[in-house]
Amino acid sequence: MTDQVVALRLFISFILGGLIGLERQLHRRTAGLRTHILVSLGSCLIMLTSLYVFDIYKDKVAADPARIAAGIITGIGFLGAGTIIRSGEAVKGLTTAASLWLVSAVGMAVGCGFYKAGLLATVFGLITLFFLRYVEDLFLKFAPVNKKEVTNGFREKTTG
């Protein structure tokens, strides 16, 4: 793999992770632009390293680049868990945790050269984060739950 390919993959990972991070930043979430970029870049670099190590040792030992990728998922689970907060019956931070998990996967996809999947996942992630929030709000207007109307998934307002 050439230095230009490595730089391109890291740059694409930076952009795609940044797009999702920007949405989180615009909605004032604790894990915003910089966090998402760093997770995406880190995942991409780990995937690149995994492919590099595999390429070096492929004729010498049995190596599996997927093993390192599996470690990324475990690590992101811990990072995501740190963004989830429970307050009474409400749980906050699940969407941010999921978006961190997504940008990690995007970084891994870009890191191994699966650009189209990384780009499509970013587009679908942005659609989910930007537009489906309005669909949720629309449905929640008409769906009272246990005498409480839940809006935006986290803010509760007693209806009676």
Which of residues 148 and 75 earns the better pLDDT score?
75
Closest among 111, 83, 112, 108 to 96, alpha carbons compared? 83
Question: pLDDT value at position 8?
Answer: 93
More confident residue, 119 or 72: 119
pLDDT score at 146: 58
Backbone torsions φ then ψ of 44, nearest 5 degrees: -65, -45
The model's pLDDT over 73-95, given as tens digits with 9 standing for 90+, comes to 888 888 778 888 877 777 788 88
| Phi–psi pair at 87, nearest 5 degrees | -135, 100
Pick the more confident residue, 93 or 144: 93
H helix intervals, the chain: 3-26, 33-57, 65-81, 94-111, 115-130, 132-141
Per-residue pLDDT at 24:
83
In this prediction, residues 129-135 reach a mean pLDDT of: 83
What average pLDDT does the chain have? 81
Tens digits of residue pLDDT in 24-43: 888 887 777 888 898 889 88
**Mind listing the pLDDT tens digit for each residue in 94-126?**
888 888 889 988 988 998 888 999 999 999 989
pLDDT at residue number 144? 64
Question: Which residue has better confidence, 79 or 23?
Answer: 23
More confident residue, 151 or 121: 121
Taking 80 as the threshold, does the pLDDT of residue 57 lie above it? Answer: no
- Which residues, 6+ apart, have CB-to-CB distance to 129 below 8 Å? 20, 23, 24, 95, 99
pLDDT value, residue 35: 84
Q: Which residue has the higher pLDDT, 154 or 78?
A: 78
